[in-house]
Amino acid sequence: MPQGGENGGPDERFTRLTAEFYPRVRRLVSRFARNEEDLDDLTHETFLRIYKKLDTFRGEAALGTWIYKVTFNTCLAWAKERGVEVQRRVQPGASEVDRGAARLEESLGAVEAKQHEAADEKERARAVRQAVAQLPREQGRAMLLYLEDYKRREIARVLRVSDETVKTHLNEARKRLREILGERFDPREPRFEEDDGER
Amino acid sequence: MSAERNNEEHPPLERLIAYHEGKLDAAAAEELRDHLALCPRCADQQLDLADFNAPPAPVVDLAARREASLLARAVVSEERARRFKAVAAIAAGLVLTTLGVLALRELGPRSGRGTQLALDGPGAANLPLASLWPASEVRSRGSATAVTVPAEAPVLGLILNLPDLSRCATYRAVLRSAEGRTLAEVSGLRRTEDGRFQFWVGAAGLSPGHLEVELYGEGEGCGAKLETFPLTLLRPAADGR
C-alpha cells in the first residue's frame, strides 16, 4: 500500500499514473457501466484498487498491462455481481450476424437493393458464414474480424501481423468470396480494395 | 462471430496478455488467433491491451485532467482515512484484548456456572476463600478474607478452596450480609480438578462490612450447606465511603 510522500513518493506516483491512465481506464470502464453513476463509481473503485495494489507492482509486466489487468478484473467482478455484460469497443447498429452479413453484401455489392429486401436475413447470414468458412485460415480470420467492424489496423493488432498482411488477406479473401458467391458478388464495390485502415 | 455465438470459454486473461506480449509459442498463438477471430470480447481485449501500453497521449481535455486530479486526491484521502481507521481499530482491539485477558485472569466467566478458570488469584492457594478480582488481602488461614472493592467495581470474583469436599454434581454459592440477607447467588458451579470453585458476582450494591459466602451442594442428596466462609468487604481509602 502506498505510503505518504508528497514529492516523488508513492502518492505522487499514483497521481501521475492517474493523470496518464484516467482516459483509458474510463473508456474501458464505460463498456461495463450501465449509466453515468456506474461509470463514476466504477472508475473510482478501479483507481482505489490500483492505489491499494500499487506497491505489489514489481515491473515484471509493463505498467499499462498491469493497470489494464487490475481494471479489467475490477470491472469483471463488478459486472458479474450485477449480471452486466461487457459491451463491445465498437457497437454495431444491428445484431452482429445480420450486420456482418449486410456489410459483406454491401461491400460485395451482391445484388440490387430490391432483391435484398426479399431475401431471408438468416439465410444470407448463413451463406456468408459458410463462404467465409471456406477461406484459408488467415484470410478467414481477417475477414471474420472485418465483418465484426474492426478496422484493418485493429485486425492487424489483434492478429499480431502487419497492416499490409491484413490488407493482402482481405483482398485475397475478397477474390475467393467472389468465386464462392458468384453473381452475388459485385466487383464494382470498392470498399475492400480501397480500405485504408481507418474504416 | 460474436462471443455469444462462440461457445468456447474465454481464455484466461494471463493467456491473452502472454499472447499480446508475444510470449506464446507458435502453435499456442495460432490457436488463440482462431479464438480471437471468433470472439469480439477477446479481440477487444487485445486492442485494450495495446491502448493501455501505447505511449501516453497528452490529455488535452482539461475537464478530464481536472477529473483525474480530483479522483487521485479523493482516492489517496479515502485510503489514508481507511488506513487510519484500520490502525485505530487494531490499536483499540489490542487494548481491549489485553484488558479482556487481564479481566479473564482476574474474573472468570460471568455465568459462574462452574466454568474453569485457568489462573489463580493471589493467595488463592492458601486461603479457603480468596478473591480473584479485586485481589484479596492475603490473610492467614482461619481469618476472614478481606477484599478491597472500589465503589465503581462491577464485579467481584471469588475462589473457594475445598480440596476435601465430597463430590456433588454441582454447587451453589450464596453471598449474604451479616444480617443474613442474600446479596448474590450463583448456582450450577462445578469443582475444578484441584477442588476449587471459581465464580464471580455483581459487585454493585455490595456495601463495605462483614459478609459470608455459603456453599451448598446441588442435586440429589446434596442440598445441604457445606461450608461458610467469612469475607470482609473494604473500600479503598480514597473512595470516600
User: What is the ipTM, given to two decimal places?
Assistant: 0.80
Residue B26: pLDDT band with limits 50, 70, 90: very high
Mean pLDDT for chain B overall: 77
For B49, the closest chain A residue by CA position comes to A65
Edge-first strand listing for the sheet containing B196-202: B129-133, B155-161, B196-202
Cross-chain Cβ contact B48/A154 below 8 Å: no
Q: Distance between CA atoms of A33 and A51, rounded to whole angstroms?
A: 21
User: Looking at residue B2, what is its pLDDT?
Assistant: 39
Q: Are strands B145-148 and B225-234 parallel, antiparallel or unpaired?
A: parallel
For chain B, say whether A94 makes contact (Cβ under 8 Å): no
Q: Check pLDDT > 50 for residue B1.
A: no
Cross-chain Cβ contact A23/B64 below 8 Å: yes
For chain A, say whether B51 makes contact (Cβ under 8 Å): yes
User: Looking at residue B100, what is its pLDDT?
Assistant: 64
Which among B33, B47, B83 is the nearest to A154, CB-wise?
B47
User: Looking at residue B103, what is its pLDDT?
Assistant: 63
For chain A, say whether B5 makes contact (Cβ under 8 Å): yes
**The C-alpha cell that represents B217 in the structure block:** 451442594
Q: Check pLDDT > 50 for residue B122.
A: no
The pLDDT of B187-192, averaged and rounded, is 84
Contacts 24+ apart (CB under 8 A), A145-150: A145/B36, A145/B37, A145/B43, A146/A170, A147/A100, A147/A101, A147/A103, A147/A104, A147/B1, A148/A92, A148/A96, A148/A100, A148/B1, A148/B2, A148/B40, A148/B43, A149/A90, A149/A92, A149/A99, A149/A103, A150/A90, A150/B43
For chain A, say whether B38 makes contact (Cβ under 8 Å): yes
In total, the C-beta contacts within 8 angstroms joining chain A to chain B are: 130
Q: Per-residue b/e over B181-207, b at no fewer than 16 CB within 10 Å?
A: eebbebbebbbbeeebbbbbbebeebe
The pLDDT of B104-116, averaged and rounded, is 44
User: Looking at residue A195, what is its pLDDT?
Assistant: 53
Nearest chain B Cα distance for residue A41, angstroms:
11
The angle subtended at Cα B194 by Cα B192 and Cα B195, nearest 5°, is 65
pLDDT in tens, chain A (199 residues): 555 444 467 788 899 999 999 999 999 999 999 999 999 999 999 999 999 999 889 888 899 999 999 999 999 999 999 999 899 987 655 445 555 666 666 666 655 555 555 556 666 667 777 888 999 999 999 999 998 889 999 999 999 999 999 999 999 998 898 888 776 655 444 444 445 555 5
Find which of A73-77, B60-64, B214-218 is predicted with most confidence, using mean pLDDT: A73-77
User: Looking at residue A166, what is its pLDDT?
Assistant: 96
